[in-house]
Every structure is written in structure tokens, then in C-alpha cells.
């Protein structure tokens, strides 16, 4: 099975987010209180899996149809998971490799702040970002790209650093 791939920073990741941001704003309208580029592709100079991570902040996670249906119409797939209670996850396309991941959070909640704080910290501390890149590059070959459980284990393996 192919392992996860971490690539050197690509400035086109920012452009991909800007394009997707426009599509999301158009589809979600007032449902999205905030749409942020998060994850490693949002940190200039940081190596990353080539997947645009996006955090969408909403007033409430339920009813999920308020944002789930518009995301589905844009080609996103909801992956039911216990995390749905605080951070529903969507991806596109349906099959791996994914190009975009969406994490939906409650506006003003701790989950919203936590992920953005980590992104901002890495942006402000390039030496820490370089350490994080080394960790990711060392871990990625040990995990399958095609199995959700392996991708989750990769994320978990980075947890102590985060």
C-alpha cells in the first residue's frame, strides 16, 4: 500500500485555498461565520501532505444539513466519526488521494481557537515549523495513504508535538 507523502511547501496551496474559499462562500452564504485555511498547507515554507485543510466555523453543528448539504453539492463527502460531536469532517474527492479536507467547528469554541493558534504559532516560529516538518517527513512513510485508520494514526503520532 502506498504510504503518505509529505512534500516541500508549494505556494500554489494558498491559491488553491483562495479558489475554494470563493466556492465555499458562494455555497454556504451566511451559514459560515468564518472560513480559514488551516493545517500545514497554510504555513508558508512548511512541508505538508498536498491536501488543503479548511476550517469552517458555524453557529451550531446541528442541524448538519445546514452546511452538509451545500458541501455535498460541492462534491464533499462527510465521514461519520465520533468527532462529529465537536468537529464534523468532510473531504473531496470521494476516493484517495483527497485534495481538500474540511473541519466544521462552532464559532468561538475551543476547537476553533486551538487549530488556528497552532497554525499561527508555526507561522510565527519558523524553527518550530522546521522541527514539525522533520517529524512529519519521518512519520509519513510508516503510514498507509489509502486506509483511514492509518491516516488517523499518523495524525495521532503528531499529537504530542502539537
Domain boundaries, the chain: 12-125
Candidates 2.60.40.60, 3.10.450.50, 3.30.460.10, 3.40.50.300; CATH matching 12-125 = 3.30.460.10
**46 pLDDT more than 70:** yes
Q: Where are the beta strands (DSSP E) in 7-149?
A: 32-38, 52-58, 77-78, 89-92, 100-106
Per-residue pLDDT band at 143 (split at 50, 70, 90)? confident
Q: Which helix (H) or strand (E) holds 33?
A: strand 32-38
Average pLDDT over residues 101-109: 97
- pTM of the full structure: 0.92
pLDDT band at 160 (very low <50, low <70, confident <90, very high): confident
Give the model confidence (pLDDT) of 63-80 as tens digits: 999 999 999 999 999 999
Which phi and psi (to 5°) does residue 92 adopt? -145, 150
Q: In the structure, how many helices (H) and strands (E) does the chain have?
A: 5, 5
Amino acid at each position: 500500500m502506498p504510504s503518505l507523502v509529505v512534500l516541500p511547501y508549494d505556494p500554489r496551496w494558498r491559491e488553491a485555498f483562495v479558489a475554494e474559499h470563493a466556492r465555499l462562500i458562494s455555497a454556504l452564504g451566511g451559514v459560515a461565520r468564518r472560513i480559514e485555511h488551516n493545517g500545514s498547507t497554510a504555513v508558508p515554507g512548511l512541508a505538508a501532505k498536498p491536501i488543503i485543510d479548511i476550517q469552517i466555523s458555524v453557529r451550531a453543528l446541528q442541524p448538519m444539513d445546514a452546511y452538509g448539504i451545500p458541501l455535498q453539492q460541492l462534491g464533499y463527502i462527510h465521514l461519520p466519526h465520533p468527532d462529529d460531536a465537536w468537529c464534523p469532517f468532510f473531504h473531496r474527492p470521494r476516493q484517495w488521494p483527497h485534495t481538500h479536507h474540511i473541519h466544521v467547528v462552532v464559532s468561538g469554541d475551543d476547537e476553533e481557537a486551538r487549530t488556528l493558534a497552532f497554525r499561527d504559532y508555526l507561522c510565527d516560529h519558523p524553527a518550530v515549523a522546521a522541527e514539525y516538518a522533520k517529524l512529519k517527513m519521518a512519520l509519513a512513510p510508516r503510514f498507509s495513504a489509502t486506509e483511514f485508520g492509518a491516516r488517523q494514526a499518523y495524525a495521532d503520532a503528531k499529537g504530542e508535538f502539537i
